[in-house]
A and B are shown apart, each in its own frame.
Chain A
Amino acid sequence: AQSVAQPEDQVNVAEGNPLTVKCTYSVSGNPYLFWYVQYPNRGLQFLLKYITGDNLVKGSYGFEAEFNKSQTSFHLKKPSALVSDSALYFCAVRDSSSASKIIFGSGTRLSIRP
């Protein structure tokens, strides 16, 4: 069975500093990995995904994520945080052999202070 873990409930970063939101996963086959963002009282919005190819994936709003197969990780990063990045971030995984069954992590609340 596939699973995903986000070990930090909250991450606090000063504006302008780099940020990292951690995610680790477990699947039996090849992983398809995703990051979504949720703003207050809204649905989830897609940020980026890793299917195959380059381990560094670039997505929306200046975010990027690095796929590390040996560490089974897919951490979300941004070189310079903005206050507007404050939101709830979800990592998700799908086993390549399991169509449509995408499993989400518990979420990490990112807070950027001015």
Chain B
Amino acid sequence: NAGVTQTPKFQVLKTGQSMTLQCAQDMNHEYMSWYRQDPGMGLRLIHYSVGAGITDQGEVPNGYNVSRSTTEDFPLRLLSAAPSQTSVYFCASSYGGGRQETQYFGPGTRLLVL
């Protein structure tokens, strides 16, 4: 199993550009989440999904969109990038039902918005 994979590893954007951060998992996990990590602020939940076709907002959803058309994939879209979105983004997945407690994290995407 590859686990949770994220692409790209690093990206530079100009203000106003759009892009999609890719996340995929091959563990048949129902639950997937996106976090951003900023110095001194830990990980903040952006959006999450409890299954294909179901998404919900986390702590800091503004400026980001998600969709979950398949169990495996959970892309994060930045519609119009802003410097405040410079961060490291982590995708995570976990089982559903009574086994969803342990999350598996991807290696992260480092995003710089100029």
Chain A contacts to B: CB under 8 angstroms = 6, 9, 32, 34, 36, 42-46, 49, 51, 90, 94, 99-107
CB distance from B31 to the nearest CB of A (A): 4
- B48 CB to nearest A CB, Å: 5
Given contacts A100-B50, A102-B103, are A9 and B42 in contact (CB under 8 A)?
no
**Residue of A9, A45, A49, A104 touching B101 (CB-CB under 8 A):** A49
Chain B: minimal CB distance from A110 (Å): 14
Give the distance in Å from the alpha carbon of A55 to the alpha carbon of B107 in the complex: 32
**Contact of A99 with B105 in the complex, beta carbons under 8 Å:** no
How many A-B pairs fall under 8 Å by CB? 62
Instruction: Please give the distance in Å from B67's CB to the nearest CB on chain A.
Output: 16
Residues of B within 8 A of A102 (CB): 33, 45, 103
A90–B40 alpha-carbon span in the complex (Å):
12
Question: How many Å lie between the Cα of A9 and that of B42 in the bound state?
Answer: 10
| Interface assignment of B43: CB less than 8 Å from any CB of chain A | yes
* Given A36-B103, A46-B102, 9 more pairs with CB closer than 8 A: A6-B42, A43-B106, A43-B107, A44-B105, A90-B43, A99-B96, A99-B100, A100-B33, A106-B41
Q: In the bound complex, how far is the Cα of B99 from the Cα of A87, in angstroms?
A: 27
Which residues of B sit under 8 angstroms from A105, Cβ to Cβ?
42
With A99-B50, A100-B33 already in contact, the answer to whether A46 and B43 are too (CB < 8 A) is no
CA distance A104 to B96 in the complex (A): 19
Most buried by B among A94, A100, A101, A107: A100
B94 at the interface (CB under 8 A from A): yes
The verdict on A43 contacting B108 (CB below 8 Å), with A90-B42, A90-B43, A100-B48 known, is yes
Which 7 pairs between the two chains have the least Cβ-Cβ distance? Answer: A43-B105, A106-B42, A104-B43, A100-B31, A44-B105, A107-B42, A104-B42
Among A45, A51, A104, A105, chain B packs the most CB atoms within 10 A around the CB of A104
Indicate if B77 sits at the interface (CB-CB under 8 A): no
Q: For residue B94, which residues in chain A have a CB less than 8 angstroms away from its CB?
A: 100
